[in-house]
């Protein structure tokens, strides 16, 4: 009976250890790519926001600009 339990534990540890390592490797890769995509997405959002602010600022400047004398 004890032999079966020990064999089961050995099989479990043999099977679980590589899967845990591979999972951590996969997770690291996914986290890196996820970080890159999040960074690029936030950069895109920031640049879009900057463009929008510039456009609004230009419109405000144009609205309050003194009429040019001809």
pLDDT band per the 50, 70, 90 thresholds, residue 63: confident
Q: What is the pLDDT of residues 7-62, one digit of tens each?
A: 555 555 555 555 555 666 666 666 777 777 777 777 777 777 888 888 888 888 88
Q: What is the dihedral of CA 5, 10, 11, 12, to 10 degrees?
A: 90
Domain boundaries, the chain: 2-64
- For residue 41, what pLDDT is reported? 72
pTM of the full predicted structure?
A: 0.33
Residue 1 CA to its chain's centroid (Å): 50
């Amino acid at each position: 009976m004890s032999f079966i339990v020990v064999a089961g534990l050995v099989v479990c540890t043999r099977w679980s250890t590589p899967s845990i390592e591979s999972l951590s490797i996969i997770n690291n890769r996914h986290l890196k790519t996820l970080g890159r995509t999040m960074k690029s997405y936030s950069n895109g959002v920031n640049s879009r926001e900057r463009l929008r602010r510039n456009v609004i600022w230009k419109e405000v400047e144009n609205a309050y600009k003194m009429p040019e004398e001809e």
